[in-house]
Structure 1
């Protein structure tokens, strides 16, 4: 069984490994578990979406006033639509979530962290063009054996 967090209501769902995650329906809200796009999370639902799921999760720590963050946002969203459900994509407003930002030592933005099974496995600062971001993701996911 895989623990996969619902994109709509943040409930953790257990999905049989032999079932397609992209077709799973949340047992709580009855909506699709996967939304094929980046999910914005905050202090209240970060752990469920990032630390308690069995899927790799790429987290973009950003802020609305940060020009490189704004430039990277469409790249991140495009990757989310292409990579899900293999990888989940989460956006965290670093200004609105100081506890989370401090917890992971975010000192510059954008900061991109890759989590797997509740642990940070890779981190990168700064925006990237789509091709470079996709290459980075492929390398990281392959190194996880996925």
Structure 2
């Protein structure tokens, strides 16, 4: 995250009920639960965002960066990268939220972000895209790419 003054708490959107939670940094590594549904806010798995409204909520309300994998079920490289993306989620949470957008299920999101090839990784911070990486990557490369971004 940025080197600006560190807040005492950050807003994190629940991957289950999509409620925005205020998580104190002191609780960050203690497996915080959602105040609404009581499920874990971080589970080390990516989140399917195949609804434009939920996508916008997670991108704009999460105060942690969100890494999105734009993919399609017919895409061989996308299917090959899927296990690596899950492994990266285990390594990157809770500092990052990882999400997947099926461009076949929500073509409007693919068009909105001008996704020209899949898979494409896009990193969002504060509601805006800050970096993009086309092509399939292994877990180590995904983690390395995300951690190399400066925002």
TM-score for both structures, normalised by structure 1: 0.90
1:15 partnered with 2:23: yes
Q: Which ranges of 4 or more aligned residues in structure 1 deviate by more than 4 Å?
A: none
Matched, 1:4 2:12: yes
The question of 1:34 aligning with 2:37 is answered no
Residues 86-109 of structure 1: CA deviation (Å, up to 9, x unaligned): 111000101101121111111211
Q: Secondary structure at the match of 2:143?
A: helix
How far the C-alpha of 1:52 sits from its partner, in A, is 1.5
What are the within-5 Å matches in structure 2 for residues 9-88 of structure 1?
Answer: 9-20=17-28, 23-43=31-51, 44-88=53-97
- The range that moved more, 23-32 or 82-91, is 23-32
- The offset of 1:116, in angstroms, is 0.8
Instruction: Single out whichever of 93-102 and 124-133 deviates more from structure 2.
Output: 124-133
Give the count of matched residue pairs.
142
Structure 1 equivalent of residue 115 of structure 2: 106
Gaps of 5+ in 1: none
The aligned counterpart of 2:5 is none
SS at match of 1:45: helix
Q: 1:119 aligns with which of 128, 136, 148?
A: 128
The alignment's TM-score, normalised by the length of structure 2, stands at 0.87
90-99 or 130-139, larger mean C-alpha shift: 130-139
Following the alignment from structure 1 to structure 2, what is the Cα–Cα distance between the partners of residues 110 and 99? 16
1:56-76 deviations in Å (ceiling 9; x for gaps): 110000001000100111110
Q: Matched residues in 2 for 1:137 and 1:34: separation?
A: 18
Structure 2 unmatched runs, 5+: 1-8
Cα distance between partner residues in 1 of 2:82 and 2:93: 16
